[in-house]
Amino acid sequence: MGWGNIYRRRMKVFTVALIVYFDYKALQQREKLTKKSKRAALWEKAHERNARRILNLIVELEGLWVKLGQYLSTRADVLPGAYISLLKQLQDSLPPRPLQEVCRSIEKELGKSMDELFSEFVEVPLATASIAQVHCAILLNGQEVVVKVQHDGIKTVILEDLKNAKSIVDWIAWAEPQYDFNPMIDEWCREAPKELDFNHEAENTRTVSKNLGCKNKSDENVGTNQVDVLIPEVIQSTEKLLILEYMDGIRLNDSESLEAYGVDKQKVVEEITRAYAHQIYIDGFFNGDPHPGNFLVSKEHPHRPILLDFGLTKKLSNSFKQALAKMFLASAEGDQVALLSAFAEMGLKLRLDVPEQAMEVITVFFRATTSAKQSLETAKALTEQRNKGMKVIQEKMKLNQREVKRFNPIDAFPGDIVIFSRVLNLLRGLSSTMDVRIVYLDIMRPFAASVLEGNIEKGPKVNDQWIYDSPLHSNLEAKIRRLLLELGNNEKIMGIQVCAYKDGEVIIDTVAGVLGKYDPRPVQPDSLFPVFSVTKAITAGMLHWLVDNGKLKLDENVGNIWPEFRSNGKDLVKVHHVLNHTSGLHNAMADVTRENPLMLADWNECLNCIANSVPETEPGQQQKYHYLSFGWLCGGIIEPHHFQCTNCEFMVNSMCPGKNFRRFLKKPSFTPSKLKESYMSEFLQASVESRLAALTLDADDLNKLFGISNRSGLPEAFQPDRIVQLVTALPPLFNMLNTRRAIIPAANGHCSARALARYYAALADGGVVPPPHSSYTKPPLGSHPHIPKFPGKTPTKKKAGKNKEPATASKAKNNGHGQNPNHSKDSENGNHYRNPSSDSYTRLVGETSSSNRTDTGTTESVVVSNPRSGDKIFRNPRIHDAFLGSGEYGNLAKPDGEFGLGFKRYYAKDKSFIGFGHSGMGGSTGFCDVKNRFAIAVTVNKMSFGAVTSKIIQLVCSELNIPVPEDYLRSVEIGPDGQLNVGRPIIN
């Protein structure tokens, strides 16, 4: 192609582009002066006029522009009908090249004459496309074939057209910044030239055929993740010639033939969609050009789709393939945390933090298709949604109208996702063209799920890294790890953390499993779990701190602190009534949240709801668990005191319910590193959010709940039959970032077990903060971005103990970190013992060491404070009585009630008092035994009703020879066969 032709092509392209652009711009102005009844006809004429201009240009120029026209012709879901009806002519009916040119190309490529190659060659082509022309032929051996011959000189044309297309996209991005298609054209420029090598296409065809198992197809039913399509066999190929097996089929745009043969169009398009789901999610190798011209339907029953033309294919890395699957499933589950994690894994960066809008966009991306008749309405709805989203961005970024027009919310767009997006859009257009409805979430989900399930390797049977590799603190911890392996193999655990303190020191700090059902990242010591009502004990602690510092009185009327609360007979409700669950407001939020669960995320509305509520019983008379209302009651009490808090060294790193309550908790005095790694509400930063575990349900436990009888201490709205409905809705609701960032101060904490255990260890010692964990945990807690990595991608390193068999004392002896002067030393292995005369537990790692081993084997200095000389967060020597509503505080609590003042009372089987704590929906828990200076926390992300937690606590307490709380003895049990025996769940 000479420079003259190149210049002429370029001028024609830009001329038509400008004409079409200014035609529509003029129409926008003209529309304002036209009656509404005539506007639709005005636009229709413009669409037909401009579609014909574009069609004439494409037919004249051919080359890459035909590809563009073919793509546009499939977008019946977004383009006006005039474009579809005109541009679909480009799918297979371009003007043919002269036969002489075709024969010359064949002979040149194969080095033989036509007579030496074919016994018969059909002169009229089957189809003429943008790059090649296809003819039927019969080989000398009698086999029917199709011969695909590349147009002479097409390579130069394609490369030049790519440059022109890039220039037009650059111009559009400048003129209309919200329509920046540069990432797409850049990826196309990389991939399109590959279509010019038919050897490449031949190899692609063989690969896809093998991946989809297209050989020896039978009429038998195929499996869930198998597909039933046909792909022609490759006979011979060169750079510009491809000979394939001939398959007689019906074109998808031949409606009459499809109807005559009785083809089920819905089934055909569904099977094509399944074939692409298999290619993308399972194989990571897919055809990037699924326009109608690249499909046939076999004439023989059962009318299988025939897939053609594998010139434009895309190969995905294993990690990107998994990220795509995770993105899809996050959309299906409404899991914003997993969605943003998937974005990070694939390199998609947003300019601002709008998780709810990101979820909306992706949900739209994977939405079910609509018919061509509904496409305009769908397009209008999407435009309205986009405009609404841009208004949110405008308000958030404080942009003016001009800035909003030029604002692009995407900062980095990965090239790999461009072809994926194109494929999904082409499939959507194909569905609209065929006038069928495809529900992508239903069809693609099994393929995406199987990818992640295969790589997550949840269970310890197949994943030797299932238990996080860390040194053991005691031989009791080794037993806990063996128990976790057992429970994991019975599929009772998804992800879990267990941490325990004895006598002010850590004796267990073990984590295992993965962060979520579709999140293959391993749980780490600083991963954060949603713990639901476990948060109540932290919120209650804040109230007690205010009392301890003279800022609040337990017998004070709530209405004196919170004037709006006085209405509807609540003027007699006191602070201790709230803490003791005797305010009579146990069902205050039940109806509201049942009708609109998303209201939980609106702090002000929930406070108003509580303020306007009516007590069901007289304050102080009946103790009914305030499962939802407790948090907002406490929040309303605490909020006015935010400005008075100055010297508290407390238990959380960033907890922030309420506008003022948030400031109260954000104060440095209230949020030191002393007891950190618990988070609540909107101070969840990006590095923190990436550490969040995702919730899933234990379906077996849910079914067993129907057999549990009602409990008198729970309100009517929180009985087992109602809990089934509640629990089913919780995972998708609490996997949403806007819910996790919401102000739900007694149900929305995000804790690591070590933070929760450290909190209770401090409470057990009257508020004395225990020393921080040793720095052998690498990287330091909270300091790393926790970038997602998939199993098998991390270089193998030597471990202190194999995870399939937890490390024993002998295996871990070289991981010692010095000696504790309070413990005796074993002369053989240097292990530490609690007491020479007791075998309750054996210390393997000293907490008061002067040096710690790093991952590289080097040491670094560490200073660990004496657990008895740490900061004290409560001054009241009778603080335990305050927590429990006993002793001098006994008149403030129901003497026989399950709850003290904000904490659950725990008793042994013989009814003797043990300690206090709080459990949460789903099985997470934390409590302390004051007498034995013992504290433990368990966090889980597979929501059950306490069987796993109970099993762990029973083992720990029995090994330490301390009493087991009755709540963990009578809860749901796990039998020796791994099955559940229904008891009483530890739901509080």
Same-domain pairing of 44 and 144: no
The pLDDT of residue 461 is 64
Burial grade of 472 (CB within 10 A; 0-12, 13-18, 19 or more): buried
Whether 6 shows a pLDDT value over 80: the answer reads no
**Angle between helix 475-489 and 947-960 (nearest 10):** 160
- Which residue type occupies 178? Q
- Would the pLDDT of 264 be above 90? yes
Cis before 779? omega within 30: yes
Over the stretch 306-352, which tens digit does the pLDDT of each residue have?
999 898 888 888 888 888 888 888 877 777 777 777 777 777 776 55
Res. 119: pLDDT tops 50: yes
Is the confidence at residue 206, as pLDDT, over 90?
Answer: yes
Q: pLDDT averaged over the chain?
A: 75
Average the pLDDT over 883-891 and give the result. 94
- Which whole number is the average pLDDT over 875-896? 93
Distance of CA 470 to the CA centre of its chain: 27
| Helix (H) or strand (E) segment spanning residue 329 | helix 318-333
Q: How far apart are CA 892 and CA 555, in angstroms?
A: 8
Nearest to residue 934, comparing CAs of 904, 959, 912?
Answer: 959
Residue 671 lies in a domain: no
More confidently predicted of 490 and 457: 490
Contact 536, 926 (CB under 8 A): no
pLDDT-wise least confident of 411-415, 533-537, 774-778:
774-778
Q: Of 412, 429, 454, at which residue does a domain stop?
A: 454
Q: Which two tokens stand for residue 971?
A: 């809860």
- Highest mean pLDDT range out of 252-256, 469-473, 952-956? 952-956
Query: Is 645 within a domain?
Result: no
Grade residue 27 by pLDDT with cuts at 50, 70 and 90.
confident
Residues 167/186, Cβ–Cβ less than 8 Å = no
Handedness of CA 490, 333, 337, 444 (dihedral sign): positive
Beta bridge mates, 513: 495
Residue 719 lies in a domain: no
Q: What pLDDT is stored for residue 361 in this prediction?
A: 64
- Three-state DSSP class for residue 412: strand
CA neighbor of 343 nearest in space, from 442, 427, 409:
409
| pLDDT category of residue 847 using cuts at 50, 70 and 90 | very low
Q: Does residue 57 share a domain with residue 163?
A: yes
For 546-570, write each residue's pLDDT tens digit: 999 899 999 999 999 999 999 888 9
Q: Does 361 map to a domain?
A: yes
Q: Which domain holds residue 40?
A: 1-92+156-176
Per the model's pLDDT, the better-predicted residue between 408 and 337 turns out to be 337
Q: Based on the structure, what is the number of domains in the chain?
A: 3
Give CA–CA dist 579/691, Å, rounded.
31
Statement: residue 818 has pLDDT above 50:
no
| Closest listed residue to residue 934, CA positions, set 915, 918, 949, 906 | 915
The 3-state DSSP class for residue 696 equals strand
Residue 366: φ, ψ to 5°:
-100, 15
- 935 contacts 770 by C-beta, under 8 angstroms: no
Structure tokens at 906: 């725990």
pLDDT digits (tens, 9 = 90+) for 433-488: 788 888 877 888 888 888 776 544 455 766 667 898 888 999 999 999 999 999 98
921-942: per-residue pLDDT in tens?
888 999 999 999 999 999 999 9
Under the banding of pLDDT at 50, 70 and 90, the label for residue 683 is very low
Q: From CA 541, how far away is CA 763, in angstroms rounded?
A: 9
Q: Which of 632, 105, 490, 67 is nearest to 294 (CA)?
A: 67
Residue 686 burial (CB count, 10 A): 10
88 and 30 part of one domain: yes
Asked if 891 and 529 touch (Cβ cutoff 8 Å), the reply is no
Q: Is 311:195 a contact under the CB 8 Å cutoff?
A: yes
* Nearest one of 652, 657, 651, 693 to 530, comparing CA atoms: 693
Q: How confident is the model at residue 809 (pLDDT cuts 50, 70, 90)?
A: very low
Say which range, 400-409, 445-454, 743-752, has the weakest mean pLDDT.
Answer: 400-409
Is the predicted pLDDT of residue 715 greater than 60, yes or no? Answer: no
Q: Which amino acid is at 20?
A: V
Give domain status of residue 374, yes or no. yes
Query: Which one of 80-94, 178-192, 544-558 scores highest in mean pLDDT?
Result: 544-558
CB 804 within 8 A of CB 459: no
Tokens describing residue 902: 């904000």
pLDDT at residue number 437: 84
pLDDT tens-place string over residues 780-802? 444 434 444 433 333 343 333 43
Q: Which residue has the tokens 């749980």?
A: 523
Which residue shows structure tokens 């993105």? 327
Instruction: Examine the pLDDT at 870 and tell me if it is beyond 90.
Output: no
Name residue, tokens 């225990």. Answer: 770
Which range among 626-640, 762-776, 937-951 shows the weakest confidence by mean pLDDT? 762-776
Is residue 23 domain-shared with residue 128, that is, in the same domain? no
How far CA 433 is from CA of 84, 380, 797, in Å, comes to 9, 19, 54
User: Which residues are the active-site residues?
Assistant: 289
| 146 and 6 co-located in one domain | no
Query: In the predicted model, is pLDDT for residue 753 greater than 90?
Result: yes
Strands 132-139, 234-237: pairing is unpaired
CA 716 to chain centre: 34
Give pLDDT, residue 113: 93
Cβ contacts of 187 within 8 Å, gap of 6 or more:
415, 416, 418, 419
Which of 32-46, 228-242, 705-719, 890-904 shows the lowest per-residue confidence on average (mean pLDDT)? Answer: 705-719
Nearest to 276 by CA among 300, 249, 305: 305
* pLDDT at residue 179, rounded to an integer: 63
The span from the CA of 264 to the CA of 851, in Å, is 72
> Residue 334: which of 355, 353, 316 has the closest Cα?
355
Write down the pLDDT at residue 798. 39
Evaluate whether residue 163 is within a structural domain: yes
Lowest-confidence segment of 278-282, 306-310, 382-386, 475-479 by average pLDDT: 382-386
Let me know how long the chain is: 988
pLDDT at 217: 52
Residue 934, token pair as written in the block = 């013992």
Considering the domain architecture, whether residues 62 and 130 belong to the same structural domain is answered as: no
- Residue 659, pLDDT score: 42
Confirm whether 426 is domain-assigned.
yes
For residue 470, report the phi and psi dihedrals to the nearest 5 degrees: -150, 155
Beta strands in 223-367 (DSSP E): 234-237, 241-245, 249-251, 285-287, 295-298, 305-307, 313-315, 349-350
pLDDT of residue 957: 95
Rounded Cα distance between 790 and 318, Å, is 9
Burial (Cβ within 10 Å: 0-12, 13-18, ≥19) of residue 78: middle
* Distance in angstroms (rounded) separating the CA atoms of residues 856 and 453: 32
Together in a domain, 78 and 148: no
Name the more confident of 234 and 72.
234
Give residue 358's pLDDT. 66
Residue 801 C-beta-side C-alpha neighbours within 13 Å: 28
Question: 321: burial class by Cβ within 10 Å (0-12, 13-18, 19+)?
Answer: buried
Q: Is residue 87 domain-shared with residue 127, that is, in the same domain?
A: no
Specify the pLDDT at position 261: 92
- What is the band of 137 on the pLDDT scale with cuts at 50, 70, 90? very high
Nearest CA-CA partner of 680 in 724, 647, 650: 650
Both tokens assigned to 4: 């003259």
Tell which of 144, 176, 208 closes a domain.
176
Considering only CA atoms, give the Rg of the chain.
34
Which are the contacts of 16, defined by CB distance < 8 A and separation ≥ 6? 53, 54, 57
Which residue type is seen at 880? H
- How many C-beta atoms surround the C-beta of residue 123 within 10 A? 10
* Whether residues 160 and 81 fall in one domain: yes
Per-residue pLDDT at 95: 76
**Bridge partner list, 139:** 118
Q: Are residues 31 and 171 in the same domain?
A: yes
- Single residue among 454, 475, 493 that ends a domain in this structure: 454
Per-residue pLDDT at 238:
94
Cα–Cα distance, 870 to 664 (Å, whole number):
23
Contact 44, 80 (CB under 8 A): yes
Q: If you search the block for the tokens 């582009």, which residue do you land on? A: 17
Alpha-carbon gap, residue 701 to 492, rounded angstroms: 9
Amino acid present at 940: V
Q: Taking 60 as the threshold, does the pLDDT of residue 221 lie above it?
A: no
Residues in contact with 79: Cβ distance below 8 Å, sequence separation at least 6, in sequence order: 72, 375
DSSP state of 221: P
Q: Show the tokens assigned to 461.
A: 């049977």
Are 134 and 16 within one domain?
no
The per-residue pLDDT for range 138-152, each reduced to its tens digit, is 999 999 999 999 988
Structure tokens at 658: 């309420």
**Judging by DSSP bridges, how do beta strands 942-943 and 696-697 pair with one another?**
parallel
pTM of the model: 0.65
Query: In this predicted model, which residue has the larger pLDDT, 725 or 16?
Result: 16
Q: Region 482-507: what's the mean pLDDT?
A: 92
**Is residue 72 in some structural domain?**
yes
Rounded mean pLDDT, 639-653: 40
Copy the structure tokens of residue 168. 């037009």
Looking at the structure, tell me whether residues 68 and 141 fall in a common domain.
no
User: Per-residue DSSP letters for 115-146?
Assistant: HHHEEEE-SS-SEE-SSEEEEEEEETTS-EEE
The answer to whether residues 151 and 131 touch, using CB atoms and an 8 Å cutoff, is yes
